[in-house]
Chains A and B, each alone.
Chain A
Amino acid sequence: NAGVTQTPKFRVLKTGQSMTLLCAQDMNHEYMYWYRQDPGMGLRLIHYSVGEGTTAKGEVPDGYNVSRLKKQNFLLGLESAAPSQTSVYFCASSYIAPDTQYFGPGTRLTVL
């Protein structure tokens, strides 16, 4: 039982490049979330999903897109990376809501 995994762990992009972050969970959770963590600001919600095929915007969605084609996977895309998107990205999931969220280990992204 791996819990919540994130791929990749680290990535460096140049401004304007695109990439996709993958989050996978093996707990059959309905709810999945993408957060970004910046110094002094805690975690802020980017997008979330309440089930396969559904997504919704969080607090800071601009510049990001998401997809949940399979229940166990939640993808976060950056179409044209900007230095302001340099951050640590965390994925989380929960079986029901509101309830305990289980977090992945994070992806550290640097945009030059």
Chain B
Amino acid sequence: GDSVTQMEGPVTLSEEAFLTINCTYTATGYPSLFWYVQYPGEGLQLLLKATKADDKGSNKGFEATYRKETTSFHLEKGSVQVSDSAVYFCALTTDSWGKLQFGAGTQVVVTP
């Protein structure tokens, strides 16, 4: 079946550091890929998405590129802020019902 693997956390960074969270996937067909973010005490919200190979999703300074050849969708941000402290989930869907398969989540802690 489909699956998503993302790097374990917590990832602890200083403010203005570069952030990378690795995400790889296994899927039949051609998935749509998503990054969701969960701030403390809140539900998930979409950070960015990509629906086909070589697409780049971007939002709030975060970027991720859909790499079909390496089955990856790594999340990057050039300069993190304390407000980026959250749990980040990589997810995919391969069907027309939109059922999401999530990775385990990566907690990111940014210190001043």
Binding site for B on A (CB under 8 A): 4, 31, 33, 35, 40-45, 48, 50, 56, 58, 90, 92, 94, 96-106
Contacts and interface: CB of A to CB of B under 8 A. Distances in A.
Interface residues of B, number: 24
A44 B49 contact: no
Contacts, number: 63
Interface in B82-112: 89, 91, 93, 95-100, 102-105
A97 to B, nearest CB: 3
A90 B36 CA distance: 13
A45 B91 CA distance: 12
B43 A105 contact: yes
A17 B82 CA distance: 42
Given A42-B105, A48-B99, A103 B44 contact: yes
Given A58-B99, A90-B44, A98 B93 contact: yes
A84 to B, nearest CB: 18
B32 interface: yes
Given A31-B97, A42-B104, A105-B43, A98 B89 contact: no
B99 A45 contact: yes
A98 B96 CA distance: 6
A-B pairs with the 7 shortest C-beta distances?
A: A97-B98, A42-B102, A103-B43, A98-B98, A103-B44, A98-B93, A43-B102
A100 B42 contact: no
Contacts of A40: 104
A8 to B, nearest CB: 15
B103 A42 contact: yes
Given A98-B32, A98-B95, A100-B49, A43 B42 contact: no
Contacts of A98: 32, 51, 93, 95-98
Given A98-B93, A100-B49, A43 B100 contact: yes
